[in-house]
Structure 1
């Protein structure tokens, strides 16, 4: 099986030397490691579960996002039997993560375990689903930036629901509203003990500051994917020029509001406030109730960015050329729009892992 060199450039029909290609070259780390994540998840060396199972899950997730060309790409490699006792609960899990990750509970993970999925393969499955959710959205954004058509969506763009149970599964006090407070997070399946990583693997965790995190040591059950994912994150959020960092963090917060991820929103709303010095605007965003418009009361520039990030974050994505025209009117050039799209799209990935592998608590 031969994977493509740059699947997103191919499917978005990006011509070498174009303005969009130059913007992606400026964000070469994000481009390189998004492709690296694809290679780590779908390459033959990933033996956590068979390739034909990986491709059928990816094809289904892409199809649910209306990313038909991406779905066809994955389907072209050959598909497993979706009705098998092992694969059926995996596809149920994929549907849950795609459409309503906030509704996940430990029972979904128990169903996978009962069907023969071990801890490492569950983590890889969750990463694969969440990655294709990111990839599908990024493809929509790239095609629009490139002036290419995308599938129409009837998704409602509004703030999502969130967890309101006062206790976590283990009995800790849980947050019941969006907040900028620092939160803890506990996994529903065991994080890999640090002593079980080799010295080289421990060095990778340490390089990214992941050593003491249950979340990252859980994802470290597939360390090559975690490493590529972390480098993608850094390439999107920590690179100079383009969209101000505060506005990239704003996009992450908006995606988290759409998906109901209180933990991710707490981290990235706090960063937005720190960098923008506009705590009131961030608090207003966090306070938007389910079903309401996230951009209400915001400045024209933030409003345009919020509306675009929210439209990209629903399933299927509802971003249109009209959203990009509004960003144009606010003075965002191609690189800045790419930064906004990549930031929102990445949190389709991050939220789906946080919401379905564990839950936040109040420390």
Structure 2
């Protein structure tokens, strides 16, 4: 298959066995922007060498294959293995690959344990700031992909690997009172506004071309350290931002308050105080029930996030938590419970995509920098 053919392929539809004309296919067509830019994100990471020549495709595919295996995703792992085998490239540098895999394993399983020193170790192993950003995007994106695939297969009535059915509890999070630079750090989940600072330098605005600055400005990212850091690989950032908008800023389907709730749940499971603060605040504003949202945020490590919520939010929270686990444990019974509460395939798709996107977002926020209190 040529690069042009791969770019035209809806990879996830193929791997999830989504039949043309099915209700899930129609729902994904309704969310055409998200569908297109999820594929566009894949193309930017795995069908392009723009800005990432120092991170060869063989290395990218080898790391992606391992991440998919960590997520117990058979179809996705096989896809990356097939592409790597077909490439017949030279084996990557062992020391360089080992440092990347250590970073990838941390992002996959324990992103809240990341520190500034871990990025320094990558730099010492020869990874440039640009390559570190691309590596982090790759790990986080495959984490997103694997959850989309499980969610799609569940909605579509296809088989999924049984990774256990126990209700997933809240995770631990970083409780250090100071950031790496010495600013006060939040030690508990909150609806308050927080700042965020990077552990490697954001790209200065003047180092972007006029066209690139226009892209940043279009999304309102010009003054953001976070987005100018991710702008070290602007094609991936652009596709990721458009994916975000296609998932969260669309009409119909799952109410926006429930999409924001799903983002907050994923952030609790991953231990991301910053993302949870943003999306819990939005869920509280839209639902007009800040107390219910705060109960979610106050859940202690190991405890069940859905306790004390109404029936619909209980079912959505339990499903989002299970989809956010590593490997994901979301199952057919949870999907049926949501259907019994009246959720359509479009609403289920929105719930899956809103939750899965924060497997991507949390892993970037937690491992490239940290929040601080104003």
Interval of TM-score (by shorter of Structure 1 and Structure 2): over 0.9
Structure-1 separation of matches of 2:255 and 2:219 = 23
Q: Which runs of 5+ in 2 are unaligned?
A: none
Aligned residue among 56, 59, 63 for 2:65: 59
Which residue is equivalent to 1:296?
307
Q: What is the CA distance between 1:81 and its match in structure 2?
A: 4.0
Q: 1:235 aligned to 2:241?
A: no
CA contact (8 A) 1:258 1:313 kept: yes
Q: 1:327 aligns with which of 316, 319, 338?
A: 338
Give, in whole Å, the separation in 2 of the partners of 1:128 and 1:276: 34
What SS does the corresponding residue of 1:186 show, helix, strand or coil?
strand
- The whole-number CA distance in structure 2 between the counterparts of 1:168 and 1:162 is 14
Specify the alignment match of 2:18 in structure 1: 14
Alignment pair present for 1:69 and 2:80: no
The aligned counterpart of 2:106 is 96
Residue-by-residue CA offset, 1:14-38 (whole Å, 9 max, x unaligned): 0111110000000000000000000
- Residue 268 of structure 1, CA deviation: 0.1
2:225 is matched with: 214
Q: CA deviation at 1:78?
A: 2.0
Partner of 1:44: 48
8 Å CA contact 2:58–2:92 kept in 1: the answer is no
5+ unaligned residues in a row in structure 1: which ranges? none
Q: 1:140-173 CA deviation, whole Å, 9 max, x = no partner?
A: 0001111001111148611011111100000000
| Residue number in structure 2 paired with 1:310 | 321
Q: Is the contact made by 2:165 and 2:331 (CA closer than 8 Å) also made in structure 1? A: no
**What secondary structure does 1:160 align onto?**
coil
Question: SS of the counterpart of 1:78?
Answer: helix
Residue 34 (structure 2) aligned to one of 20, 30, 36: 30
Other structure's SS at 2:185 match: coil
Q: Secondary structure at the match of 1:152?
A: coil
Aligned partners of 1:155 and 1:212: how far apart in 2? 44
Alpha-carbon separation, structure 2, partners of 1:167 and 1:263: 15
Tell me which residue corresponds to 1:269: 280
Residue 153 of structure 1: SS of its match in structure 2?
coil
Deviation by residue 1:47-104 (Cα, 9 ceiling, x = unmatched): 2410000001100111111111111111112266477011101001100000000000
SS at the partner of 1:98? helix
Question: In the alignment, which of 153, 165, 181 is matched to residue 163 of structure 2?
Answer: 153
Q: In structure 1, how many angstroms separate the alpha carbons of the residues matched to 2:334 and 2:45? A: 32
Paired residues of 1:155 and 1:316 also in contact (CA < 8 A): no
Q: CA RMSD in A?
A: 1.2
Query: How far does the alpha carbon of each residue in 1:326-353 deviate from its partner, in whole angstroms, 9 at most, with x for none?
Result: 1011111100000000000000000000
Q: CA deviation at 1:44?
A: 3.4
Q: Is the Cα–Cα contact under 8 Å of residues 160 and 291 in structure 1 kept in the other structure?
A: yes
The answer as to whether partners of 1:48 and 1:120 remain within 8 angstroms in 2 is no
TM normalised by structure 1 equals 0.98
Alignment check: 8 A CA contact 1:155 1:315 kept: no
